[in-house]
Amino acid sequence: MNPALSRRALLSGAAGGAALLALAGCTSAVGAQNSGTVKKGGTFLGGISTDLVPANFFTNSNAGVTTIIGLVYESLIRYPVDRLRPEPRLAKDWTISPDGRTVTLHLRDDVTFHTGRPFTSADVAFSLRTYADPKWNGQLKSTAQAITSIDARDPHTAVLHLAHPLGNILDLLEIVPIVDEKTFAGVGDGSRYVGTGPFVFERWSPNSRLKFTKNPHYWVPGRPYLDAVDIAVITDATPLTSQLRSGQIDYAYGSSFLDIERLEKSGKYDTIQLRGAETQVYVGTNVTAEGLSDVRVRQAIAYALDRDRVIAEVFRGSGYTANLPWPKTSPAYDAKLNASYGRNVARAKSLLAEYGKPVPTLKYSYVGKDPLLAATAQIVQANLKEIGVTVALDPLDPPTFVAQLIGGKFPGLWTTYHSWAQYTPSTLTVSAYPFNALKNTSHYSSAAYTKDADTAWRQVAGDGVKAREAYAALSKDLLDGLFLIEIGVIEGRWAVSDRVKGVAYTKRSELVLTDAQLTA
Amino acid sequence: MTSYLLRRLPSLAAVLAVSSVLIFGLIRLVPGDPATTLAGANATPDAVAAIRHQLGLDQPLLTQYLRWLGDLVTFDPGRSYIIGGGIGALVGDALGNTLLLTGSALLLAVASALLLGPLWAGTRRRWLEHLLTGVNTLAIAIPTFVLGVALALVFGVLVPVLPAGGVPRAGLLADPSITAQYLLLPAVCLGLPVGAVLTRYLAESLRTELSKPYVVTALAAGVARRRLLFRHALRNVLPTSLTVLGLQTGALLGGAVLVEFTFSWPGLGLLIERAVTGRDYPVVQVLLMLSVTVFAVLQLLTDAAHALLDPRIRLGGAR
């Protein structure tokens, strides 16, 4: 026997044995994650692609905020996701006076904040006033600012006095989370979130995770089922999906449509399609730009767009084409009007011929780091080339894009998303700046549009016959003016592993885990 | 020595002062600002103006600059506009995570070089030499982000023995064995190219060393090749390898940005990416100023070391 070889073998064996012992002695990180999900109760593990931005608490603009609001807070009323029929939440019932200027809310008397303090009408007043404060940039702040006073003398009754009837007042009551005045300072820096909801906010580690525990004093008996919620911030879609597939997380908000499609096909994951919480993708136009100032050119663009291709290829069929902002769940949705501008290249060319002048090269701006918008822009560019309109793509980074959007600085076309059309239609025209009748990104103004937008907003009943007539007029204005050319209504998607049941969402894509359960 | 350092301090202060002006000014030349980021795509110009006022961005630039300078000299870096929270805590946490990741990667790189470098230089088996050459070339050539995704896919998804990314739920300090498992894939991803460069350099240096006359003579005298390799040749080439290691450490810190992104590791790379994307002025300013300060102080220390070794520099007589 070769003694050198023997020693080497001995050393190798010892090293291998030591490594095996070390591995056996370690707790597996993968095993530890799974062991928390196999029992009822337990910890829900999720991942989101955008971290909390504390200053955006009332803007519903990122997954961090919507996760906190969905788990920790509650509003006065709640819409089911598929219709605008309000259901009681912190308000047991409510009445709107015949003149539409007074809203009386009767509140639950068995609700406490996570600090133990009882919820009262003073909290309603504080929450609505805070939401109306311009510094929080709440999307419905103009509606909140139309509340002239709030009578909170009875702790269980809140009476709102309005400057004029507000057809979307119930939207406001559905959207505004009821916050705790005593601890509200912590909201601004992300240190404290105190609500009345099923989960208590524990901790936020920037760029890393959000942690919540069960609210043992939640007013809904027996809920929530889960003991805790742990949400990791995973800012890139690829690792987010990888962590879902590896079993580290059971829920992903921010995976690409393509990845979700693949996950669904594997049979191990469920897809939650956010129907009722839609966003819209559109082509915006600067109506003061040469060429675009003529509505026939804008109509030609609308006819040229291959919306079916965008929805099928870019959004993997998770949505449907649209000519108007309204989703199918909206009281303003009209299938016939929504098909006004089907793809018709010949018609588009004839409209350009009627225009009679060459359309100069149009700059086309979008957020370059968003692959969906980039792909949409390329399809639109190809569509417009077919009708002889040349487009120069202009990918921008998000802050530059938003600065140009709000400043009305786009020289030609742009593409992005908008939301808020899933609510009462007047909410869109008073909350989304691109649709604002008085001042908007497109520099579009029309006396009829301004009048009809205001009429829709001032309805006593947002779903009444008169209101529907006002919405029809609004739709006609949007199709006639065509300053924003809709491409489609997009239904977002969440991927959830088959270990989790009962995951729900609100109309603002907020995560709801009140009835969620983990299964083996 | 003290007087030498004192003589250098004014230039250090000047570098920092000029850098602060440049950093403050350049970030404001980039289109978009924190107010537009916070306002979002549906906001009105009035809402943006209100946010700008609230953040103090509507004040004259000189006022904003002096306020920031005041915060810096009092060691109060302030609060983040976009990310939220105190900047000191944000940077401290992220720095700790990045140092842990790069330290682990460096450890893996050095260990692999010390193991494979001598093996490569000393082997007489052609197949092993070809194998090591191929693997080494691949490790240097493969982009970090491709390697990261592949590692996460293989070891996190297909054969799920390690986490595909992120950090332990209970924190990095709670259980070292769990932390090590979370660290392994990103550290391998970051350390592999550095380890490959080091290995190649070490192997080549050892081959050169092994062909020197003293080695040939020793071999002829019957000294074991392995003994020569480890006791003499390796010892002789280590100092120059350390220089290469120092240069590669810089690359390691740069590469950490991509690896942190790929594995969702919450370090400085993720922090600066988010701060720049969101135009989070205070965070970007502090991170850049920190980087300039570290570089300037390191330069000062290097010069001081030279001065210590060379009296002509120290006494200013070598003119």
Domain co-membership, A148 together with A90: yes
Does A54 reside within a domain?
A: no
Q: What is the pLDDT of residues A90-101, one digit of tens each?
A: 999 999 999 999
**Which percentage of chain A shows pLDDT scores above 70?**
92
Domain co-membership, A481 together with A504: no
Q: What is the mean pLDDT of residues B118-142?
A: 91
**Which percentage of chain A shows pLDDT scores above 90?**
77
Does A38 reside within a domain?
A: no
Model confidence at A25: pLDDT above 50? no
Q: How many CB atoms lie within 10 A of CB A180?
A: 22
First to last CA, chain A: 55
Instruction: Give the pLDDT score at A27.
Output: 60
Model confidence at A24: pLDDT above 70? no
Q: What is the dihedral of CA A426, A430, A431, A436, to 10 degrees?
A: 120
Strand order in the sheet with A199-205: A199-205, A209-214, A228-233, A43-48, A251-253, A493-497, A269-273
Instruction: Give the pLDDT score at B139.
Output: 92
Q: Decide if B8 touches A, using CB distance below 8 A.
A: no
Model confidence at A109: pLDDT above 60? yes
What are the residue boundaries of the structural domains of chain B, listed by start? 1-82+281-318, 97-278
User: A273 — phi, psi (to 5°)?
Assistant: -90, 125
Question: In this predicted structure, which of A213-227, A267-281, B39-53 has the lowest mean pLDDT?
Answer: B39-53
Most confident of A232-241, A341-350, B1-10, B229-238: A341-350
CB spacing of B79 vs A51 below 8 angstroms:
no
- Determine the angle formed by the axes of helices B61-73 and B281-309, rounding to 10 degrees: 50
Q: Decide if B255 touches A, using CB distance below 8 A.
A: no
Domain co-membership, A414 together with A451: yes
- Mutation pick from A246, A280, A404 vs chain B, by most beta carbons of B within 10 Å, is A246
CATH code, domain with A107: 3.90.76.10
Model confidence at A35: pLDDT above 50? no
Q: What is the mean pLDDT of residues A286-292?
A: 97
Q: What is the pLDDT of residues B253-292, one digit of tens each?
A: 778 888 998 898 999 988 988 898 889 999 999 999 988 8
Model confidence at A331: pLDDT above 60? yes
Query: In this predicted model, which residue has the larger pLDDT, B292 or A4?
Result: B292
- Mutation pick from B167, B264, B283 vs chain A, by most beta carbons of A within 10 Å, is B264
Closest Cβ–Cβ partner in B45, B153, B166 for A407: B45
The C-alpha of A81 sits at a distance from chain B's nearest C-alpha, in angstroms, of 22
Please count the residue pairs, one from chain A and one from chain B, whose beta carbons lie less than 8 angstroms apart: 199
Residues of B in contact with A27 (CB under 8 A): 175, 177-178
Domain co-membership, A309 together with A381: yes
Q: What is the pLDDT of residues B42-99, one digit of tens each?
A: 777 888 888 888 889 999 999 999 999 998 888 888 889 888 778 998 999 999 999 9
Q: What is the mean pLDDT of residues A349-363?
A: 96
Amino acid at B268: L
In the stretch 30-89 of chain B, residues with CB closer than 8 A to chain A read 30-33, 36-48, 50-51, 54, 79-85
Residues of B in contact with A189 (CB under 8 A): 79, 84-85
Q: What is the pLDDT of residues B152-164, one digit of tens each?
A: 999 988 888 999 8
Query: In this predicted model, which residue has the larger pLDDT, A397 or B313?
Result: A397
CB spacing of A406 vs B48 below 8 angstroms:
yes
Write down which residue in A151, A167, A187 finishes a domain: A187
Model confidence at A391: pLDDT above 50? yes
Q: Decide if B101 touches A, using CB distance below 8 A.
A: no
Model confidence at A21: pLDDT above 50? no
Does A413 reside within a domain?
A: yes
Instruction: Give the pLDDT score at B136.
Output: 94
Q: What is the mean pLDDT of residues A269-280?
A: 94
Number of domains in chain A: 3
Residue B160: strand, helix, or coil: coil
> Nearest-CA residue of chain B relative to A435?
B42
Does A354 reside within a domain?
A: yes
Model confidence at A37: pLDDT above 70? no
Model confidence at A6: pLDDT above 60? no
Domain co-membership, A82 together with A111: yes
Question: In this predicted structure, which of A124-128, A309-313, B92-96 has the lowest mean pLDDT?
Answer: B92-96
Helix (H) or strand (E) run with residue A320 in it: strand A319-321
Model confidence at B37: pLDDT above 90? no
Pick from A340, A344, A343, A352: which is nearest to A479 by CA? A340
Domain co-membership, A110 together with A180: yes
Domain co-membership, A291 together with A403: yes
Domain co-membership, A158 together with A211: no
Domain co-membership, A361 together with A271: no
The C-alpha of B163 sits at a distance from chain A's nearest C-alpha, in angstroms, of 6
Query: B97-278 maps to which CATH number?
Result: 1.10.3720.10
Does A110 reside within a domain?
A: yes
Range of the domain at A321: 279-490
Residues of A in contact with B166 (CB under 8 A): 232, 234, 239, 243, 248
Does A380 reside within a domain?
A: yes
What is the C-alpha to C-alpha distance for residues B264 and B189, in angstroms, rounded to an integer?
13
Does A220 reside within a domain?
A: yes
Domain co-membership, A331 together with A428: yes
What is the C-alpha to C-alpha distance for residues A308 and A320, in angstroms, rounded to an integer?
8
Model confidence at B314: pLDDT above 90? no
Is this prediction's pTM over 0.80?
yes
User: A82 — phi, psi (to 5°)?
Assistant: -100, 0
What is the overall mean pLDDT for chain A? 91
CB spacing of B164 vs A242 below 8 angstroms:
yes
Residue A512: strand, helix, or coil: strand
Domain co-membership, A410 together with A510: no
Q: What is the pLDDT of residues A476-513, one digit of tens each?
A: 999 999 999 999 999 999 999 988 999 999 999 999 99
Query: In this predicted model, which residue has the larger pLDDT, B145 or A333?
Result: A333
Instruction: Give the pLDDT score at B312.
Output: 72
What is the C-alpha to C-alpha distance for residues A12 and A6, in angstroms, rounded to an integer?
10
What is the C-alpha to C-alpha distance for residues A352 and A349, in angstroms, rounded to an integer?
5
DSSP A486: E
Instruction: Give the pLDDT score at A39.
Output: 59
What is the C-alpha to C-alpha distance for residues A173 and A3, in angstroms, rounded to an integer?
84
The per-residue b/e assignment along A148-161, b for 16 or more CB within 10 angstroms, e otherwise, is eebebeeebbbbbe
Q: Which pLDDT band, with edges at 50, 70 and 90, does A12 fall under?
A: low
Flag whether the ipTM exceeds 0.90: no
CATH code, domain with A286: 3.10.105.10
Domain co-membership, A429 together with A377: yes
CATH code, domain with A500: 3.40.190.10
Helix (H) or strand (E) run with residue A413 in it: strand A413-418
